[in-house]
């Protein structure tokens, strides 16, 4: 074990998953060299605030850092920023950087994340057409969100809605274009979709649903979005939020199994046992739901970082965690636990009209599969525990606000 703990670890990527994995490896006793390779010019930083606090000027670069610079020096973790990994040689056990430098490794960890899905329409390359995946994107968008400016958000997912909320807070006019007939169609139930649409409309956000952008128009910079029905929406900037694509090209090029991401097991191992993968680039097992999926979330990235750190240092694997997600919009705190799979039953606890409610998704056997909670942290926490326990609940008690979540759990 000492020989293993003393090997060279190279982590390709420098986001949440990479930074946490490096820290846990040291915490769990890894004594060998650890090197993080990031293509951005920053230390590992938090991305969720980019669409909220950063855009509104409530966060700076220092506050976004996952850990201060001193942490990496004190723990002998080398962070190389602004470098691009071009290839993995599994036979030579090296990664090749742009410029030709080859770095040797004994264990390789891929934490390459995901990139914004491109909009395949004319005009997508115009100036002021942005995505929101990193600090550079956020800084460019922030500069455009000036009072009175018109912003079109293409895509009615969480990032798009968070950006629309931030735009309104800064005095911009915001229009959200979504090709599905409702917001959040792929990630939330109808109750949540209707609630968020109504709440945003009350704040002045406009929605165009069941419509797709056909062309972005402008000379140099975008000035309009042409929809498929011929309508044109004037704008000063466009934010594209139509999903993400896993950065799995490096893994695929060196022969690792990939399918909508790098395929890994419960220990984060790829099809090559000397290479692990973590974070948004992976397709991972979800034991509670008996299937594989790619989860784009900070909690998922941190859980996989623990899995790999335990695997490399010989510690017992952590218990599978209930997947969870969150979104902050205006004064709303949305917290989601679990996935609404194989859950035909749905009930609401609380008052939707008062923005204090939770939607529970249950199987035919009354087992909770997921909960979507708005400004109701006790329902979120209780829901996570119910999902993990796999014990049936009494729907009448779960939906009754006079019965505490603690009593429901008993």
Q: What are phi and psi of 300, to 5 degrees?
A: -65, -40
Q: How far is CA 104 from the centre of its chain?
A: 30
Instruction: Kindly report each contact of residues 303-306 with a partner whose C-beta sits within 8 Å and lies 24 or more positions away, as own/partner.
Output: 304/17, 304/264, 304/268, 304/278, 304/279, 305/16, 305/17, 305/18, 305/20, 305/21, 305/24, 305/278, 305/279, 306/20, 306/24
pLDDT tens, position by position, 124-147 = 999 999 998 888 888 899 899 999
pLDDT band at 59 (very low <50, low <70, confident <90, very high): confident
For strands 107-110 and 275-277, give the pairing. Answer: parallel
- Percent of the chain topping pLDDT 90: 87
The helix/strand/coil state of 406 is: helix
- Among 47, 52, 41, residue whose Cα is nearest residue 16: 47
State mean pLDDT over 348-358.
97
- Predicted local distance difference test score (pLDDT) of residue 205: 97
Rounded mean pLDDT of the chain? 94
State mean pLDDT over 224-242.
96
The helix/strand/coil state of 135 is: helix
State mean pLDDT over 287-314.
95
Tokens of 178: 């979504």
Tokens of 322: 């209930």
The helix/strand/coil state of 357 is: strand
Architecture of domain 2-115+245-313: 3-Layer(bba) Sandwich (3.50)
- Greatest extent of the chain over all pairs of C-alpha atoms, in Å: 67
Is 68's pLDDT higher than 50?
A: yes
pLDDT tens, position by position, 378-409 = 999 999 999 999 999 999 999 999 999 999 99
Q: Where are the alpha helices (DSSP H) in 28-109?
A: 61-64, 69-74
pLDDT tens, position by position, 321-345 = 899 999 999 999 999 999 999 999 9
State mean pLDDT over 161-182.
94
- Predicted local distance difference test score (pLDDT) of residue 320: 85
pLDDT band at 218 (very low <50, low <70, confident <90, very high): very high
- Predicted local distance difference test score (pLDDT) of residue 4: 59
pLDDT band at 3 (very low <50, low <70, confident <90, very high): very low
For strands 221-227 and 232-234, give the pairing. Answer: antiparallel
- Which one of 3.40.50.300, 3.40.50.1860, 3.30.390.30, 3.30.160.110 gives the CATH number of domain 331-409? 3.30.390.30
- Predicted local distance difference test score (pLDDT) of residue 1: 37
CATH code assigned to 118-242 = 3.50.50.60
- Predicted local distance difference test score (pLDDT) of residue 53: 80
Does 331-409 match 118-242 at the fold level? no
**What are the extents of the domains in the chain?**
2-115+245-313, 118-242, 331-409
Is 172's pLDDT higher than 80?
A: yes
State mean pLDDT over 249-272.
98
Q: Who contacts 306 (Cβ-Cβ below 8 Å, separation ≥6)?
A: 20, 24, 318
């Amino acid at each position: 074990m000492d020989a293993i703990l003393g090997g060279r670890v190279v982590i390709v990527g420098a986001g949440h998953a990479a930074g946490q994995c490096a820290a846990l490896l040291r915490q769990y006793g890894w004594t060998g060299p650890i090197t993080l390779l990031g293509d951005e010019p920053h230390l590992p930083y938090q991305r969720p605030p980019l669409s909220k606090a950063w855009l509104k000027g409530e966060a700076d670069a220092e506050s976004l850092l996952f850990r201060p610079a001193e942490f990496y020096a004190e723990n002998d973790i080398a962070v190389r920023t602004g470098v691009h990994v071009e290839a993995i040689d599994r036979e030579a056990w090296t990664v090749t950087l742009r410029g030709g430098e080859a770095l040797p490794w004994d264990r390789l960890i891929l934490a390459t994340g995901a990139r914004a899905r491109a909009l395949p329409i004319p005009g997508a390359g115009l100036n002021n057409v942005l995505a929101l995946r990193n600090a550079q994107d956020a800084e460019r968008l922030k500069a455009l969100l000036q009072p009175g400016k018109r912003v079109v958000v293409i895509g009615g997912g969480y990032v798009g809605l968070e950006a629309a909320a931030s735009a309104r807070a800064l005095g911009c006019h915001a229009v959200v274009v979504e090709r599905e007939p409702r917001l959040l169609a792929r990630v939330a139930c109808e109750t949540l979709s209707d609630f968020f649409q109504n709440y945003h409309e009350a704040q002045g956000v406009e929605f165009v649903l069941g419509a797709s952008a056909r062309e972005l128009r402008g000379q140099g910079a975008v000035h309009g979005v042409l929809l498929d029905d011929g309508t044109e929406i004037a704008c000063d900037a466009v934010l594209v939020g139509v999903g993400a694509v896993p950065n799995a090209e490096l893994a695929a090029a060196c022969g690792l199994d990939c399918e909508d991401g790098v395929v890994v097991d419960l220990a984060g191992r790829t099809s090559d046992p000397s290479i692990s993968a973590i974070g948004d680039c992976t397709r991972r097992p979800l034991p509670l739901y008996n299937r594989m999926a790619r989860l784009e979330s900070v909690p998922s990235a941190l859980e996989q970082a623990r899995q790999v750190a335990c695997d490399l240092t010989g510690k017992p694997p952590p218990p599978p965690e209930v997947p969870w997600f969150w979104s902050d919009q205006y004064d709303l705190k949305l917290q989601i636990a679990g996935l609404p799979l194989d859950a035909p039953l749905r009930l609401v606890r609380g008052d939707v009209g008062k923005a204090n409610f939770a939607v529970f998704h249950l199987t035919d056997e009354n087992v909770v599969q997921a909960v979507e909670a708005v400004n109701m942290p006790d329902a979120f926490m209780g829901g996570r525990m119910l999902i993990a326990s796999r014990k049936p609940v009494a729907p009448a008690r779960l939906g009754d606000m006079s019965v505490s979540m603690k009593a429901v759990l008993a």
